[in-house]
Amino acid sequence: MNPLILTFLGTGTSMGVPVAGGFGSEQATGDPRDERYRTSAWIRSETTSVVIDIGPEFRLQSLRSGIRSIDTVLITHEHTDHIGGLDDLRSFMYTTGGPVSVMAHPRTAADIRTRFHYMFEPGKTPGSLDIDFLPVEAFTLGDIRITPIPVAHGAMEILAYRLNDIVYVTDANAIGDEALELMADAEILVLNALRWKPAHPTHFTVPEAVDVARRIGARRTYFVHMSTAVRHAEVQALLPAGMMLAYDQLEVISGNRTSTP
């Protein structure tokens, strides 16, 4: 299987890190790994480019990562930190001359049609983004096999995704047995880990994420969607071997069995 390159475009929680307005008792650590845009990822091969979630900072994320083309967008769910930058996809549409294909849960697609109504109205402004919603089912895009996997975000069903040997899960707090089976034998697991404690009603904490990662058994696990309370150096020192906190602009490769976290 051809290697895939995974770039973490952002690894922060819904308000980003640090939070605007000095929410809480934040103090800068001086560690750039503690500055996090909203969680998003870019996964690509030599021929295919896929982005997972388009948050409010997507323009900045795409520029600093050098994204030049996108073949499809995978949306996990409709919260603003995961779809707020959809309009920034317009420039990618201009280069291809056609609509941007997007996979999203039917509920999420309906929400996008409402919140971004100007993209779908008859007689819409020329140059507005055109979206082609894909069926929520496994398919092959170039040399990447993409499988949507339902997981729980509190009472909401959202989508995790498997792309070849990479499993990407964000904002979850429960993963069912059928979903775990679809994640089995992954080389790389990306999993949300909001904070160390206390427990949260819709997100895994770091200890919970460690337990889930052990059940899935990927060779390498990278945690994302972390709040300001997760200081990289402090928390990384407490994690088991093979598990690490991701950080913005971190780049890892799947299909390279000799690589290390």
- Supply 49's token pair: 């480019």
Alpha carbons 16 and 107: distance in angstroms, whole number: 25
Question: Which fold does the domain 4-254 belong to in CATH?
Answer: Metallo-beta-lactamase; Chain A (3.60.15)
The reported pLDDT for the residue numbered 97 is 84
CB neighbourhood size of 200 (10 A): 15
Tens-place pLDDT, residues 36-52:
999 999 999 999 999 99
Alpha carbons 104 and 120: distance in angstroms, whole number: 16
Alpha carbons 34 and 245: distance in angstroms, whole number: 10
Do the beta carbons of residue 194 and residue 225 sit within 8 Å?
A: yes
pTM: 0.95
The reported pLDDT for the residue numbered 130 is 95
Q: Which residue numbers in the chain have pLDDT < 70?
A: 1, 23-27, 256-261
The reported pLDDT for the residue numbered 2 is 81
